[in-house]
Structure formats: structure tokens, C-alpha cells
Structure 1
Amino acid sequence: MSEPAIDYEAVFQALPGSVLLLTPQFVIADANEALLRRAGRERREVIGRLLFDVFPDNPDDPAATGTRNLRASLERVVATGARDTMALQRYDVEMPGRPGEFEERYWSPVNAPVLDAEGRVRLIVHRVEEVTEVVRAETEGEGYRGRLGAELFARAQELQEVNEDLRASHAHERQVVLTLQEAMLPAPQTVGHHRAAVRYRPAVSALNVCGDWYDLAELSGDRMAVAVGDVVGHGLDAACVMGQLRSALSAATRVAAGPAQALDVLGVYARSVDGAESTTAVQAIIDWTTRTIAYSSAGHPPPALLHPDGAVQLLDQATDPPLGARPEHMARPEARVAFAEDAVLVLYTDGLIERRREDIDVGLGRLADALTRHRGADVEALADALLAELLPSGGATDDTALVVIRL
């Protein structure tokens, strides 16, 4: 028996709650009947117009904060791709047919993103429930809100102040962590006579930064070791763990027989570091004398080798679980691949390719396509092109490390 077709436009219009659909620029794309009725507006008055032009703050009320608070919430949704629930808001509405006259109104808003296949915000669902009558509760004379309403509004305002304090605290922590990471990660440099382009892009969220790292090292002969990794946690603790693991792998690389042995040593060390469990990492050792790349991965997305003819090869033949994931030690696998002059090797963390509700192969396909199209670019231009094309336009929800080396 086939399922009945659902008319989602009719469902949207029949919703008992007030709902607006907004573009990422906060232009009203649609409004349901409940919202139009409660706002006292005709459809032609709202569709295609900026939200804050249709519903401005009362210019005669210096304490009005509805527009500011709502804009901040919507900007967080666009930046993070996550739902944002607001505290109770006093957001007065201009009375229909009476320009400049505002009626005191109270709303409980929720803003939720509608994401596309690449995790970018395409629409925002702005749902509001009006609670004016509850807050007002005029039981003891004109202008008196009533004990219940006054307490409800006061608690909501306190909650909003707490949320603002938390956001300020998170922003401060973000800056501290980014400063620490900048000091720990190596700057762009020439390794031997080979130039590598490195990039780090923090997540837009204050709490989702600094689990990613990269490292480059010159080895004996015409060889270079390059690695990237991703600590599971975020924030200051993750930045400290990242620094420890990066330093440990850099030291191990200089005495190990190859990348698999270096990751073996790092895995043993990670067991003694709180927060290092399940870290992913991949290392490649490039040998220009033999024109080969030896590589090993601990649960990390595969490096991409761009051949001169534009073909892209994923280095996925030596993949093992993340650091500390096995209860007993086992030697890690190692693979080797040949490269031609003018090939390009790209190592990255998952923020570059992964999107919500999307198979990782789709992101890997985007990476391969971008590499092929930009194969003639120098390493700096190629690194910038990859970030510009592959990261979400509203900002990444996870941090991203990227290393590009022309071979």
C-alpha cells in the first residue's frame, strides 16, 4: 500500500504556532497564517522584506532590545548550523494602520536551521509563541502585569543575562585557545628546498576549536615527514593535548624506521595522556630520491595524491584504528606509493570534507574534484582555493587543518 502524498505547504499554513521562513540574510521567504494573524499583517506586507524592516524595535523605547537579541540569535544559527532557543523576549509590534504606535508584546522564540547536503544553512525556521497575556496578567489595574507574569519575565531576563555571560566567557576562552595554538603550531616554512602551504581555520563556535594540528619535519637525505591529527575534544584541554601529541610525534619521527613505527610510539604515549584517547592521525614520509611516499593512518581521513594528469589517488591502504582504541598493542600497517614530478600531496582534517547527514565519500569526491580543477595552481593558491570551495559559506562547525606540498 503506497503512502499518501503530503501537502507540506498546507501543513505549514495549518500549523497552530507562528512560523516564519527566513533566508540566511534574514529576508522573509514565507509566513504561515498563524503568524500573520497574530502580527496583524497581510502576506504582501512581509514576503520578500527584511525581517527587521517588517518588525522593528520601538524607536521611542530606549530599553527595547528585541531586534538586537533576535539578530544575535539568527547570526548564531547561520554561523553554527545549530538551533538556538531564546529567552522570553519583549518585542513590541507596530500596530496595523497606525504607524509609529507600538503595542507591548511578549514572545518565546526558537530559531532552527534548514541545511543543504553540504551542511550550509539555506533557510531558518523562526517559530514564536506569543505569551503576552500570561506575562501581562492584568488582574489589579491597568499596566499591572501580575505576580506570575512579572516573575516569569524576570526569570527569563535573568536567564538571558546568564547566557550572554556564558557566551562572553566562551569567546574569551576561544581567544586564549587560539593564541595558545598559534604558539604551538609551526608557521609556514620551507622544509629543505621544498615549500609547503599550511592552513588552520578555527570553527565558528567558541567551544569547537583547537583539536586539530599539523607537523612538518626535515629528515636525513632528501626526505620530509608531514602529519596531521585531530584530538576528539575541543577548547583549552584539547589544545594542550594537541600540543603534547604533536611534539611527541615530531620526536618519534626522527628516530622511527617509518610512519607506522612513529604512530606506534605515539599510540603508546597517548595512553598516558588524559584526553588523547581516540585521537586520529596520519603521517607520510616523502622521499624525493626514490620518488615514493610511505604512509600510515590511525583512523584519519586519507591523504590525497594529485597526479600531474589530474587524477586523484586516496592513500587509504594503511588505515588502522585511532590512537589508544585497541586494548592490546598491534603493529600498525604501512603502505608506499610512487609519485611523478609536479604531483601534489594534500593532508587535512575532517572539517574540510565532513558534513552533517552526509556520507564521507561525498566530501572526498568534492575534494578530488577541486584538486583536479586547480591542479596548475601553486601550493599557496591551491590551499586557499580548497578552503574557499570546501568549507561551508557560513563558517565551519569543526576546525580544519590543511597541508599542501607540490612534489
Structure 2
Amino acid sequence: MFASVAEVTERLAAYGYIADNRLATTVFLLSRLGKPVLLEGPAGVGKTELAKSLAAACGRRLLRLQCYEGQDESKALYEWDYGKQLLYTQMLREKISEIVADAPDLASAVARIGDQDSVFFSDRFLVARPVLEAIRGPEPAVLLIDEIDRADEALEAVLLESLAEYQVSVPEIGAYTASVLPYVVLTSNNTRDLSAALKRRCLHLYLDYPDAARELEIVRSKHTGLPDALAEQLVSVVRELRGLRLRKSPGISETIDWAHALAVLGAEELDAQLLAETVNVVLKYERDLVRAREALPRLLPPGGAMPVLSEQDDSPTYSEMNGHAGAQEQYPRNAANAIGGANGDTDPTRNGNGNGNGNGDGDGDGDATGNGDGDDGTGQGHRAFAAATHHRALAKGR
């Protein structure tokens, strides 16, 4: 039990988890209200890690249910050990013969055996899976139901009783109710919509990528061995990579992995070649790797030092406007004309390019054009960039 939101932040930080006030408040309410927490958001932003850190901070054991398609209640709640039951049946065959020896007919024999079924359907033969183990266990636990969106809707329905009442019903025995409520954390990567019934039973929180300062703080807290200056540059690179149109953008966990890798290699500075040689640590799809390696030289200026992203700088970047490879760091601030271009998909099976330009004159007139999409060659222009340039041209003209 936590005494305050501030204590949540402090105790999680002691185990390497940097939580903002919104997340710390949700965890505090979890401990006080006894409601499960549902964390949704992209992969790699710390949802699973929260459950692990929470268990460590509270001194509770961690029980994990990893969800997958086709999973049923026998893997989530409980199942009967049929092999053990059969073995006991063989061992007790002689006793069973004695029980039915003087039975007048078959019906009576079956009835006598039926009276003994409680022997075979008891705790002795019950195999508890993570949910039941968290509820009936004598020690307090943190139950992590990981990637619930990968499970079928049928499993969601099965879990409703457990999440609402902290109870698991076993028809052959009865209901198990938690004497000490577990802390339950559910995670979802948003691969499908979860049911309203499930969400109603949970405190809900969406976790997105953190801002640059917090991500840098997280990387530093993991003691990767990478110098602070390089860690700051690396965070900036990763944030720019997220602006590209990637199949799977790198999460915080990938940033940490990359920092570890660079530290192991003894990196003293970040340059395009080193980043290109190690970017496979964070990107796992070939198209993403090609796009990233193409963009990396443009992310690093000739001197090799990566510009630090400022949270106070509200000027749009090309990647923020278009989410496209070939992004420029920032739009020009002091020019009446601005031209921006983006290379197309590097996939050899596709061709395309995109560009947008705007011109302004002293009368405040301007024009903007955009054509060609670098991803699919369909001829759809990057209107956002062209429009933004056009507005800047108009403003300059005034």
C-alpha cells in the first residue's frame, strides 16, 4: 500500500522505473481502490515493465499470464490433472472393487462410485494457472495479464468474474475468493478493440512515447554505460526515427537496447556510419532498416553532433508534419521561399517521390504545390508540407 502519489514515484524510481504524475496517480488508485489497471499504447513504452517494477517495489511476487490467440481458460484459470487422476484410479482399483462388491445392480455400483468423485475433483488434482494462483495464493501478488488484445474475446468474458469479484468459480469444487487482493495490470498494444465490459472493470491509462527529457531520464536510470552526452544525442535520433513511416517504430526499450550496444562498442561519438551499423538493434524489418539508413546521414550534421530537441521549440519538423523519410530538421525561419522534398520508398519494386514548395512575394501572394507519394507512387502529394510552406510565404509577404 502506498501512502501518497509521491511515494509511488519514489519507490518505482528506486527500481529503475521513471513514472510521470499521471501514471503514478493511476498506480496509487490501483492500490487504494482495488481495481485492475488497463494500460494501452504502442509496444515498448513500459507497460509490462511497470508490472515488474510494481511487484519489486511492493515486495510482491509477480504472476504473468501471456495472452495469445486461441488461449482458453485451462491456460488462464485452471485445469484438471487428468494424468494424475488416472494414475490414482489405477492405484485405487482394488478399493473401488471393494466399494462395489456387494452392489445389487449396475446402477447402485455407479452411484457408489459417484459418491467418491470428490476425491478426484479436489485441490489435489487442480492445477492453478496464473489467475487462480493470484487469487487463492497465501501471499500477495501482482498479476500481469500481458497483451490481452492478442487473446480471443471469449477469454475476455472468462476473465470478467476474476477482474470484478477477484473470484474464480470451479464447478466441481466451488468458488475461490481472494483473501488478499492482487494488484492486476493488463496491457494492450491496440491490435484490436477490447470489450466495453472489460474496460468498465479497470482503471484505464494510455501510455505513449515520453517527451525527450523523460526518455533521456529513463535511459540514464538504466545505467547503460553510454556517456550522458551521447545518450542525449541517441534519444534525439530515436525520436526522429519515429517520425519516419516505419512498420514498427522503436520504443523506449529499443532506445535502451541501442544505448547498451553503443556502450559495449565503446562509442565516443555518434556518426552516421556507426548508427547505420547498429540500427538493426532497434529495427527488425528490412524496409524499416533501409529507410532508416537512408535517413540517418540527414539526421546528423557534417560535424557529427546531433542537435538536441528542445521541448520549448514549437516549430514543426518535416517528420512531424509528414512522418516521411527525407525529413529536414526544421523549416527555414528567415526565408521568403521554402522548398522541401522527400525521397520515395526505397523498395526496388516501387517508384515515387514527393515534394512541396511555396513561394511568396512582397504582395503577400503565394502558391503551393505537392505531387508524388514516396511510399506507393500513387501521385498523392504531401499537402501538409506544401500548405505549411504556403502559409509561411504569405506571412513573409505581409
What interval of TM-score do these two structures reach, taking the shorter chain for normalisation? under 0.3
So what's the TM-score if we normalise by structure 1?
0.25
Q: Which has the higher helix share?
A: 2
So what's the TM-score if we normalise by structure 2?
0.26
Q: Which has the higher strand share?
A: 1
